[in-house]
C-alpha cells in the first residue's frame, strides 16, 4: 500500500531531476554556440563571379550568340530553354558554381560557417532564380 502511494512521487522526482540535467546540458551548449556567434566578423558578403566561357559551354552557345540574344532581351533561362536545357538542370549547374564560391570563401576565411549555411539555405535559390530570369534589356 505504501509503495503504491510513493510510486507516483518517485516518478515525479525522477522526471524533475532528469529534465533539470537536460536543461543544464542544453544551456551550456547554447552558451558556447552564442559565444562563437558573438565572435563573428561583420559584414560578410559573397560575390559570385560567373565564368561565362564555362556557361557558354553549358548552354551550348557561342559568345557572339549569347551577347546577341542577351541584347535582344532574352534571359539565361530562355536561352537554356531554347536549347532543350531543363530549368532544373540550369539551376543545379548554377548551384554547383555557388557552392564552389562558398567553399572557396570559407577556406579563405572570408565567410564563416554561419554565413555559409545561412546563404545556402535562405538565399541561394532566390539569387539563382533572379540571375536566370532577369535581363535589363528585356523591357
Tell me the per-residue pLDDT of 92-128, one tens digit each, with 9 for 90 and over: 999 999 999 999 999 999 999 999 999 999 999 999 9
- CA-wise closest residue to 54 among 111, 7, 101, 116: 101
71 and 120, same structural domain? yes
82 and 23, same structural domain? no
Q: Is residue 106 part of a domain?
A: yes
Q: Is the pTM of this model over 0.75?
A: no
pLDDT digits (tens, 9 = 90+) for 55-76: 999 999 999 999 999 999 999 9
Q: Is residue 46 part of a domain?
A: no
Q: How many domains does the chain have?
A: 2
13 and 61, same structural domain? no
Domain that holds residue 32: 1-39
Rounded Cα gap, residues 116 and 111, in angstroms: 7
Amino acid at each position: 500500500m505504501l509503495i503504491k502511494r510513493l510510486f507516483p512521487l518517485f516518478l515525479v522526482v525522477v522526471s524533475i531531476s532528469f529534465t533539470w540535467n537536460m536543461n543544464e546540458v542544453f544551456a551550456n551548449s547554447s552558451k558556447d554556440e552564442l559565444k562563437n556567434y558573438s565572435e563573428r566578423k561583420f559584414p560578410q558578403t559573397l560575390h559570385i563571379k560567373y565564368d561565362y566561357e564555362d556557361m557558354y559551354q553549358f548552354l551550348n552557345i557561342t559568345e557572339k550568340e549569347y551577347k546577341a540574344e542577351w541584347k535582344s532581351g532574352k534571359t539565361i533561362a530562355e536561352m537554356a530553354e531554347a536549347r532543350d536545357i531543363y530549368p532544373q538542370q540550369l539551376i543545379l549547374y548554377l548551384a554547383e558554381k555557388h557552392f564552389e564560391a562558398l567553399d572557396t570563401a570559407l577556406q579563405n576565411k572570408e565567410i564563416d560557417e554561419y554565413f555559409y549555411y545561412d546563404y545556402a539555405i535562405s538565399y541561394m535559390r532566390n539569387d539563382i532564380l533572379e540571375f536566370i530570369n532577369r535581363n535589363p534589356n528585356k523591357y
